[in-house]
Amino acid sequence: MTILRTPHLRGLVLSATGMVVISPDGLLLRLIDTAGPWEIILYRSSFMGIGLALVLALRHGRRVGGLWCKLGWAGLASAVLMAGANMGFIGAITHTTVANTLVILAAMPLISAVLGRLLIGEAVARRTWGAIIVAMGGIVVIFADSLGGGAPLGDGLAAVTAVLMGLNLVLLRRMGPRDVLPMLCLAGFLGAAAAAFFAEPTAVSGRDLAIIAVLGFVVLPLALALFFGGVRFVPAAEVALLALLETVLAPIWVWLGVGERPSAAAMVGGVIVVGAVIVNAVLGLRPPGPPQSEAARRDPPGG
């Protein structure tokens, strides 16, 4: 499509599509019966690593081994951050309420904006600051009735996850154009290796394994590749803002899948979040106005 030749729009579409793809993640995790958090991390990460390794092998053939050698310290750090964020999310969702997890993760755009400014000097547009504030207010509205009741461990893991994801967005932004699939693949294997020390692989039913396989082989790698791919074209804070689309869409999937109808507050908050994201995106696509000449500034029309 011709319109997608605009780099900023291309980045927005990539990252937003990634969040749409990953939005059923919470529903699929809710459908798991017997597997514990370490078993979920083990199999989900393993499937993601294996699936992406096959994709990379088909794409690069015998040169696939050299991809990891070329990652460098920055690529390795990104893979570690991705693995840590994936593990932290599963730990948070199984040790505190879904509402607490999502509200804490909603701080990721703010974290990305601050870290981007401090670490790589990336300026954040005023429209994006405004959108972040409005969107976080919408998140609070969505979960106002269900906040609290969580456990300190789960809430802490959600906060760590938000920091790791924000830091990774800034790192990828600093690295510039780079294929994220090798890093995602390595992140999968790193997460699986860490979980192997604590998981009981046989304590998972065939049904649960099938659900985790869908997550690991399809949902997670596709969604993360699209989401992190957008950071090549869009500032980290704006990409992180798009992550809030998952927060809005996840309750809708749960409603459709297991019949949990969103409350009126959830619907109102969802409109606020989506509205903030859309307004920020549209304003970001507006071309800058022509520079005003010195003569025009000295003698404005009607002056």
Mean pLDDT of the chain: 81
pLDDT > 60? residue 27:
yes
pLDDT > 60? residue 295:
no
Residues 216-234: b if buried by 16+ CB within 10 A, e if exposed: bbebbbbbbbbbbbbbbbb
Residues 124-171 have pLDDT tens digits of 788 888 888 888 887 777 666 655 555 678 878 888 998 999 899 889
CA geometry: angle at 110 spanning 72 and 148, to 5°?
115
Residue 108 to residues 72, 82, 127, 132, 165, Cα–Cα distance (Å) = 26, 14, 17, 9, 7
Residues 258-293 have pLDDT tens digits of 776 766 776 777 788 778 877 877 777 665 555 444
CA nearest 11: which of 173, 233, 241? 233
Residues 70-124 have pLDDT tens digits of 888 888 999 999 999 999 988 888 887 766 777 777 778 888 888 888 888 878 7
